[in-house]
Amino acid sequence: MIRTTALHRWPPRLTIGVLATALLAGCDRSEQEQAAERAQPVSVRVATVATLDRPERFEAGGVVAAAETAVVSSRVVAPVTVVAVRPGDRVRAGDVLVRLDAREVAARALQANAATRAAEEALVAARSTQVAAAAEQTLATAWHGRIAQLRERNAVTAQEFDEAVARLAAATARAVAAQAGVEQAAAHAAALRAGGDIAAITESYTVIRAPFDGEVTERFTDAGNLASPGQPLLRIDATGGRRVHVGVDEARAGQVRTGDTVAVFLDHTAGEDGGLTGTVVEVSRAIAADQRAFTIKVALPSGTVPRTGTYARVRFDGAPRRALVVPVSAIRLQGQLTSVVVVSEGVAQIRLVQTGDADGDGTEILAGLDAGESVVVDPPADLTDGRAVTIVIAPAATGR
């Protein structure tokens, strides 16, 4: 007969109890270690919240524009035959942009030139008549002189003397008339020459050229359309520097001066570090009635050539005011929350703050801090609220 030997097993309840005791002991040790770590002070650097004089800043929105802009239009009424450029094309001064139908204008120019030539021929004929009249007057004058001498000696009759006088008067009248004819013909020829010049100039208007080096930004017509004086055909922006045109209300426009340095942000989503340095080059002297604002033009740095029409923000410095400032490195951003770590009696306190503008002096604090408080510079990632801290560097001036 075979005997079966029973195996010895741990009771289930005993096993679970031992495991739970071991886990609780591990948790207690972890919490104790964490508490010990929290009790160890963290070395930090601090700076004092300072009160500084900062300018009252304000912003104005505007658009980028070229220093020179030309809207090209026609001076005559004529059909458009060729538009040689498109938006984006670069052009040089004198390049052909648009050609108009010049047949009618050319025919008028030919007509004017023919009339001018006829007038010049008439002037030549008038001058010949003047020469003949002058010669006749000279002969009549000589003949009158001889007759007058003979009459003194009673060698001629009274009738012969009267004929000589009449002949001289007639010759003189013809000479005067010839002179007037020459002047009239000359004036007529000059008028026709001027008309020919006008016709030539008008004919030149059928070829529209670029007024300066630039880029075609807009095209308003195509071949086959009828061009008329003042009707826009193309828009050209000059190459070179760009400006931002902004409108500033009359209450603040008096704080802006030509030559002021301002910050320009070309993209409304750009951060505070994305600005350019611009210079105010013009402050309008007349207010825009439709906007109740003065137009201010700000030149962008050389080499900065954004697209014209780009939206831009310009930040101006106004009158100085007192502001609380902390170093930029003291600011902590966690999602939508902005905070600093304040040190009070050796303990770190996380404080939510509302910030303003930032510059080389630091970040302005609008709410959440008082002057003279100490804030941690470059706070460690593991620095929590209520943690003991040790200051390794005395409070320093605000800055980066």
Q: Kindly state whether residue 32 falls inside one of the protein's structural domains.
A: no
Residues 119 and 150 in one domain: yes
**The pLDDT of residue 258 is above 50:** yes
Phi (first) and psi of residue 156, to 5 degrees: -130, 160
Instruction: Please check whether residue 12 lies inside any domain of the structure.
Output: no
**pLDDT level of residue 16 (50, 70, 90 thresholds):** very low
188-242 confidence digits (pLDDT tens): 889 988 888 888 888 899 999 999 999 999 999 999 999 999 899 999 999 888 8
Q: How far is CA 374 from CA 52, 325, 394, in A?
A: 16, 12, 10
Q: Is 351 exposed, middle or buried (0-12, 13-18, 19+ CB in 10 A)?
A: middle
Instruction: State residue 7's pLDDT score.
Output: 33
Confidence class for position 100, pLDDT limits 50, 70, 90:
very high
pLDDT at residue 305 is higher than 50: yes
* Structural domain ending residue among the three candidates 297, 320, 343: 320
- Distance, C-alpha 324 to centroid of its chain: 37
| 11 located within any domain | no
Cα–Cα nearest to 242, from 220, 217, 218: 217
Reply yes or no on whether the pLDDT at 2 is more than 60: no
Q: 137 and 88 share a domain?
A: no
CA distance 215 to 235: 9
Cβ contacts of residue 323 below 8 Å, gap of 6+? 51, 52, 53, 54, 356, 364, 365
Note down the domain range covering 215: 69-98+207-237
Is residue 232 left, alpha or beta, with left meaning phi > 0 and alpha meaning psi from -120 to 50? beta
Residue 94: partners with Cβ closer than 8 Å, 6 or more residues away: 209, 210
Q: Are residues 108 and 90 in the same domain?
A: no
CB under 8 A, 24+ apart: contacts of 219-226: 219/83, 219/85, 219/86, 219/87, 221/80, 221/83, 221/98, 222/80, 222/83, 223/80, 223/81, 223/82, 223/83, 224/79, 224/80, 225/79, 225/80, 226/77, 226/78, 226/79, 226/80
- Tokens 């490195």 map to which residue? 329
Residue 115 CA to residue 139 CA, distance in Å, equals: 36
Token match 């030919």: residue?
110
Instruction: Record the pTM.
Output: 0.56
What is the edge-to-edge ordering of all strands in the sheet holding 78-83? 207-209, 96-100, 78-83, 226-227
31 domain-assigned = no
CATH assignment at residue 85: 2.40.50.100
Q: Residues 375, 369: contact at Cβ < 8 Å?
A: yes
Q: What are the pLDDT digits (tens) for 47-86? A: 888 888 777 778 888 899 888 899 999 999 999 999 999 9
200 lies in some domain: yes
399 has pLDDT over 50: no
In a domain, 144, yes or no: yes
Structural domains in the chain (count): 4
Q: How many helices (H) and strands (E) does the chain have?
A: 4, 22
Last residue of some domain: 320, 353, 378? 320
Rg, Å, the chain Cα set: 49
Strands 261-265, 78-83: pairing is unpaired
Domain assignment present for 218: yes
Is the CB of residue 123 less than 8 Å from the CB of residue 180?
A: no
CA distances from 386 to 8, 30, 191, 371 (A): 54, 20, 99, 21
The residues, ordered by sequence, that sit 6+ positions from 17 with a Cβ below 8 Å of its Cβ are none
Residues contacting 317, CB < 8 A, separation 6+: 55, 56, 57, 260, 262
Reported as a pLDDT band with limits 50, 70 and 90, residue 266 is: confident
Which helix (H) or strand (E) segment is 195 a member of?
helix 158-204
> Is 263 in the same domain as 128?
no
**Does residue 345 surpass a pLDDT of 70?**
yes
Q: Tokens for 61?
A: 């929105």
- Render pLDDT for 365-376 as a digit per residue (tens, 0 to 9): 888 888 888 888
One domain for residues 130 and 221? no
Asked if pLDDT for residue 35 goes beyond 70, the answer is no
Q: What is the pLDDT of residues 105-121, one digit of tens each?
A: 888 888 888 988 998 89
Q: Does 3 fall in a domain?
A: no
What size, in residues, is the chain? Answer: 400
With beta carbons less than 8 A apart as the criterion, state whether 72 and 236 touch. yes
DSSP reduced 3-state for 359: strand
